[in-house]
């Protein structure tokens, strides 16, 4: 056989082939399948207002998940996000008791979230402590403060204007929360995929030492990411408190699990280095459709928790099982 008789196949995939075989495409197919199943399982699912209500199942969590995705891609994690929501909500509730106006309440919620993020950032980036240990500690700290302040009581009496963030609608069935979710998705998508900062996040997640020798200020980038995560927790706290109309120390309890599940389900590598914002967006919709569909079928909340836990385990284990099967 001569050299000219040999055929070396071109293994390079076209952009269309890569897109069709991507995790985001698989997630999109899953979302369509769940939507179709819910449409046949419940006669109330396709109602426009019911679908609008379904968005409340994921918008607040997704706001945090966008920042969490960048943090995990950079090789860190923040498990205190739900506790930050509780502390920010407690601060807003306390201010509301003294007649604080809507604008001041929002600024307080954002400031508390930012301060908590800065506290985590200092412990991790300045003192060099492991983020998972730090944020488990601050998770107890922040929520513990809320329990000390509130005990078994609750704050209410928020001004009418404050309700718009969690209960208001921009037009027809499109809520303010959904608009904020879309705006944040676009902003974080641009930040991660179209800026030098986003490229630095990927570089740090793949090889922090190499990124440092390449001139990237690794600790500074991570500090900013913790600030963003805290800030987004503050935004979520404003929306959630506005929607509920009250503050209890248990507000947002367990939400950190759903946020991490949303990020990992979206294709972000839990060890860092890879992931996309579109994947997180689709994962948020998938989780929202699952929980809303189960709710319409009167499935108990504890079963939904089991489903979310299985999703997290399955998504982490699936790539390894796939690799083992191919070998």
Helices marked H in the chain: 15-20, 23-41, 48-55, 59-73, 81-97, 102-121, 131-150, 164-167, 176-193, 196-206, 208-213, 218-244, 255-265, 277-296, 301-326
CB 287 within 8 A of CB 262: yes
310 vs 9: which has the higher pLDDT: 310
Cβ atoms of 60 and 119 within 8 Å: the answer is no
**What dihedral angle (degrees, nearest 10) is formed by the CA atoms of 131, 68, 19, 179?**
180
Q: What is the pTM of this model?
A: 0.90
How far is it, in rounded angstroms, from Cα 51 to Cα 227? Answer: 33
The pairing of strands 174-175 and 169-171 is antiparallel
Residues of the chain above pLDDT 70, percent: 91
pLDDT, one tens digit per residue, over 199-251 is 999 999 999 999 999 999 999 999 999 999 999 999 999 999 999 999 999 99
Query: Does a structural domain hold residue 43?
Result: no
Q: How confident is the model at residue 8 (pLDDT cuts 50, 70, 90)?
A: very low
Summarised one tens digit per residue, pLDDT across range 279-294 is 999 999 998 888 888 8
Host domain of residue 176: 54-317
Residue 70 placed within a domain: yes
pLDDT value at position 59?
94
Residue 289 domain flag: yes
Predicted pLDDT at 17: 62
Q: Report how far residue 216's alpha carbon sits from residue 200's, in angstroms, rounded to the nearest whole number.
A: 7
Residue 17 lies in a domain: no
pLDDT at residue 217, rounded to an integer:
95
* CATH number, residue 285: 1.10.3470
What average pLDDT does range 94-121 have in this prediction? 96
Token reading at 183: 């705006």
Q: For residue 208, what are the contacts with CB-CB under 8 A and spacing of at least 6?
A: 75, 218
Per the domain annotation, does 4 fall within a domain? no
Check residue 307 and give its pLDDT. 78
How confident is residue 6, by pLDDT bands cut at 50, 70 and 90?
very low
Q: How far apart are CA 56 and CA 243, in angstroms?
A: 9
Residue 35 lies in a domain: no
β strands within 67-125, DSSP E: none
Classify residue 154 as exposed, middle or buried by CB count within 10 Å of its CB (0-12, 13-18, 19+): middle
Decide if pLDDT at 137 tops 90: yes
Do the beta carbons of residue 155 and residue 246 sit within 8 Å?
Answer: yes
- The yes-or-no verdict on residue 79 having pLDDT over 90 is yes
Q: How many domains does the chain have?
A: 1
Amino acid 131: pLDDT: 95
User: Do 163 and 170 meet the contact criterion of CB atoms below 8 Å apart?
Assistant: no
pLDDT band at 2 (very low <50, low <70, confident <90, very high): very low
Residue 322 reports pLDDT greater than 70:
no
Is residue 8 included in any domain, yes or no? Answer: no
**Strand runs (DSSP E) across the chain, as ranges?**
169-171, 174-175
Query: Rounded mean pLDDT of the chain?
Result: 89
Q: What does residue 299 show for φ and ψ, rounded to 5 degrees?
A: -80, 130
Is 309 part of any domain?
yes
């Amino acid at each position: 056989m001569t050299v000219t008789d040999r055929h070396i196949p071109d293994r390079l995939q076209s952009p269309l082939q890569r897109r069709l075989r991507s995790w985001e495409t698989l997630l999109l197919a899953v979302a369509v399948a769940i939507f179709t199943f819910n449409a046949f399982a419940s006669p109330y699912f396709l109602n426009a207002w019911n679908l609008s209500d379904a968005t409340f199942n994921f918008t607040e969590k997704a706001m945090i998940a966008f920042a969490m995705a960048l943090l995990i891609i950079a090789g860190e994690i923040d498990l205190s996000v739900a506790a930050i929501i509780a502390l920010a909500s407690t601060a807003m509730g306390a201010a509301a008791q003294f007649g604080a106006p809507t604008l001041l309440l929002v600024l307080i919620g954002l400031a508390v979230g930012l301060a908590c993020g800065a506290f985590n950032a200092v412990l991790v980036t300045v003192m060099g402590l492991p983020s998972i240990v730090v944020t488990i500690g601050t998770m107890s700290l922040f929520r513990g403060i809320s329990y000390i302040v509130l005990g078994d009581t609750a704050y209410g009496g928020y001004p009418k204007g404050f309700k718009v963030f969690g209960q208001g609608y921009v037009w027809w069935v499109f809520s303010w929360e959904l608009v904020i979710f879309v705006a944040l998705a676009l902003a974080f998508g641009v930040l991660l995929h179209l800026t030098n900062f986003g490229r630095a996040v990927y570089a740090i997640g793949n090889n922090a030492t190499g990124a440092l020798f390449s001139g990237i200020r690794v600790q500074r980038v991570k500090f900013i990411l913790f600030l963003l995560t805290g800030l987004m927790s503050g935004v979520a706290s404003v929306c959630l408190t506005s929607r509920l109309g009250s503050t209890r120390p248990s507000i947002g309890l367990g939400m950190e699990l759903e946020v991490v599940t949303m990020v990992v389900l979206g294709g972000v590598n839990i060890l860092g280095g890879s992931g996309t914002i579109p994947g997180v967006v689709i994962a948020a919709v998938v989780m929202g459709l699952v929980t809303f569909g189960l709710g319409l079928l009167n499935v108990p909340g504890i079963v939904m928790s089991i489903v979310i836990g299985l999703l997290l385990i399955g998504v982490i284990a699936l790539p390894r099982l796939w690799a083992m099967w191919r070998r």
